[in-house]
Structure 1
Amino acid sequence: MTTATEKEILQQPNAWRQLAGDIEVRSDQLSGFLEPIVAVPGLRTVLTGAGSSAFAGELLAPSLARRSGRRVEAVATTDLVSNPRDVFAEPLPTLLVSFARSGNSPESLAATDLADALLPDVNHLVITCNRDGALARNHDHKQGSLVLLTPDSTHDRGFAMTSSFTSMALAAWSVLSGAAVDDQRAARLSSAAEWVNDRRAELRRRATAGYERIVYLGSGPLRAAARESALKVLELTAGELISYHESSLGFRHGPKSVLRDRTLVVVYVSNDPYTRRYDLDIVAEVRQAVGRENVLAIGANTSPAGAGSLDWMLPALGQEDDSLLALPCLVAAQWLALESSIALGLTPDNPFPNGEVNRVVQGVTIHPL
């Protein structure tokens, strides 16, 4: 039987194409809201969310800062809510970008309230998959706020965020990077994701090969992709399959001890020619440690320095920013997590039938400031 999670992984190419069209339709409204804000001297942009939604911010922040020449930071709502005076220690003009699949988690709602309470000049861009969520309702038509919805289909019904994550990240990139996701860029990304979908059988073979651990490595934005990938494994296998993430350079500084005979290592290889050297160095090193057959190096750049070292060469993305390269890489990670869940006899849509972990977080008390 086809699961919701499977459908939501498969739908991503179409969802990305639809998203690009939706943003084009709203381009005047979006630019009218954002242009005066980003023109403010000393603007600080904070990308926030909880869990996977926080990792979307981590994925984008380095690239957005580099491209804009402005201060862009990723701060999880779980850190912001527990330590708001630390996060908002400086009374800077701030654009708070909130990522939320459902928009109903207590931290997501509290984060925007705390920003309003502690900052003299704050605007809100809410990027969510749920038009009926509390976050979208609270900020719809609110002065200083704009709600950007991803396609309704990306409000994932499965336990783990898949199409919701990639679509929210793509939406933020399109409106904040200065390099909109037009039809051509959306087509390239979607084609690469379809290329990955066609290799599901290979990922199933790896998921059923008896691995006890999966390690994801990457640099810069791709480290955030590695973090999200590792979380997908933990979520969909209910913690039965151990996963780990680290930067390509940081892995040698102790975390490399996680390697065992039954370890699969996935390395996301940067498109940046300088960064790529470090990624390829760790590819060679872990191949020597665990065997080439237990390493999957995924990238897109066709330069001589990278092409021969890659196991998977994503088509037509060799010139894209790593924040966008990450999206089809994450599709591969989603399939690997799904197939690992099935191999363990679990139900991917609900790997925690007793409610130990919930799709929308429960049990959080928001204390008064």
Structure 2
Amino acid sequence: MLLSVLLISDLPAIKNIQPEIQQIIKQGNLLLQNANEFKKLASEKFQRVVFLGSGSMLGIARECHLKLQELTDGQIVCKHDSFLGFRHGPRAVTNENTLLVYLFSANDFVYQYELDLALAIANEPRDIKCLSIGRPENKELNSSLNIDLQLNPNHQLNIIPTSLVGQLLGLYKSLSLGLDPDNPSVSGAISRVVKGVTIYNHPIIKK
């Protein structure tokens, strides 16, 4: 759906971005090829997950946050933020039971600031686990899992394969908690189809 929206917004250029589409297919396949690593990571006993991203990746961080929290029926509490925003008050949420997911930018200038924060967290006395997505491995981060997607800084399609991160973590964490990923809400508070929404007539719309 996301790819369709991005393509429709610039139909005349569809043929010109075929190489970019092939690249995100490769990136998506790379993430899926690491499914067992996601499964292994999901089996660890973290209770909180924070997804960080900059620019368009911030939107994907939010989607990953919602997906993981939903698929675990709220047993895993999730947050999302920008790298710069997380430096202040929001960082207080982290503890030894937190997994940080870094959705690194393809922009080298932006990445400098992101990496500074990630290294600062890695150098804390607390052993906070992290998952690094998008950039080559940096051993100083001591990531539980690092996947280099070879991001292209010149196009916006990087966000599409990155959205798989929340889906894979959510799927395997849901299973590890003994939930049904197709229907994870034990209470029934969340369902596939949104219910109980009334569509009201807007004042400017004549009946």
Calculate the TM-score normalised by the size of structure 2.
0.85
Corresponding position of 1:284:
119
2:185 aligned residue: 352
Are 1:343 and 2:179 matched, yes or no?
Answer: no
Q: Which amino acid aligns with 1:357?
A: I
Residue of 169, 184, 208 corresponding to 2:2: 169
Of 90, 107, 129, the match for 1:255: 90
Answer 1 or 2: higher relative contact order, Cα 8 Å, separation at least 6.
2
Q: How much does 1:176 deviate?
A: 1.7
The share of aligned pairs that are identical, in percent, is 33
- For 1:258 and 1:340, how far apart are their aligned partners in 2? 20
Q: Out of 36, 44, 56, which is 1:209 matched to?
A: 44
User: Which of 235, 240, 244 is residue 79 of structure 2 equivalent to?
Assistant: 244
Superposition map of 1:87-106 within 5 A = none
Gaps of 5+ in 2: 203-207
Q: 2:69 aligns with which of 207, 223, 234?
A: 234
Deviation at 1:236, TM superposition (A): 0.3
Residue 152 of structure 2 is aligned to residue 318 of structure 1: yes
- Note the C-alpha offset of 1:214: 0.6
Alignment of 1:148-159 (within 5 A): none
The 3-state SS of whatever aligns with 1:209 is coil
* 1:353-368 matched pairs, under 5 angstroms: 353-368=186-201
Quick check: 2:20–2:157 contact (8 Å CA) kept in 1?
no
- SS across alignment from 2:123: helix
Of 333, 336, 345, 2:166 maps to 333
Which sits farther off after the overlay, 274-283 or 260-269? 274-283
Task: Report the residue type matching 1:332 in the other structure.
Answer: V
Q: Shift of the alpha carbon at 1:320?
A: 4.3
Count residues with an aligned counterpart: 194
Q: Letter of the 1:192 partner, please give it.
A: Q
Native 8 Å contact 2:83 2:114 kept in 1: yes
Residues 274, 335 of structure 1: CA spacing in aligned structure 2 closer, same or farther, 3 A cutoff?
same
Amino acid paired to 2:79: Y
Which protein shows a greater Rg?
1
Q: Tell me if structure 1 keeps the 8 A contact 2:73–2:186.
A: no
Q: SS of the residue aligned with 1:195?
A: helix
Note the 1:75-90 alignment, pairs <5 A: none
CA distance in 2 between counterparts of 1:234 and 1:180 reads: 35
Measure how far apart 1:170 and its partner are.
1.0
Offset at residue 288 of structure 1 (A): 2.3
CA distance in 1, matches of 2:64, 2:200: 32
Q: Distance in 2 between matches of 1:175 and 1:359?
A: 26
Amino acid at match of 1:295: C
Instruction: After TM superposition, give the deviation of residue 342 of structure 1 in Å.
Output: 0.4
Cα distance in structure 2, aligned partners of 1:266 and 1:209: 14
Q: Are residues 354 and 264 of structure 1, via their aligned partners in 2, closer, same or farther at CA, if it must alter by over 3 Å?
A: closer
Equivalent residue, structure 2, for 1:222: 57
Q: Could you say which residue in structure 2 is the equivalent of 1:183? A: 18
Q: Deviation at 1:233?
A: 0.9
Question: Of 122, 131, 136, which residue of structure 2 is paired with 1:296?
Answer: 131
Provide Cα deviations, 1:176-224, integer angstroms capped at 9, x if missing partner.
Answer: 2575374322221111111110111111111111001111001110011
CA RMSD of aligned residues (A): 2.0
Secondary structure class of the residue paired with 1:295: strand
Return closer, same or farther for 1:245/1:179 CA change in 2, 3 Å cut-off.
Answer: farther
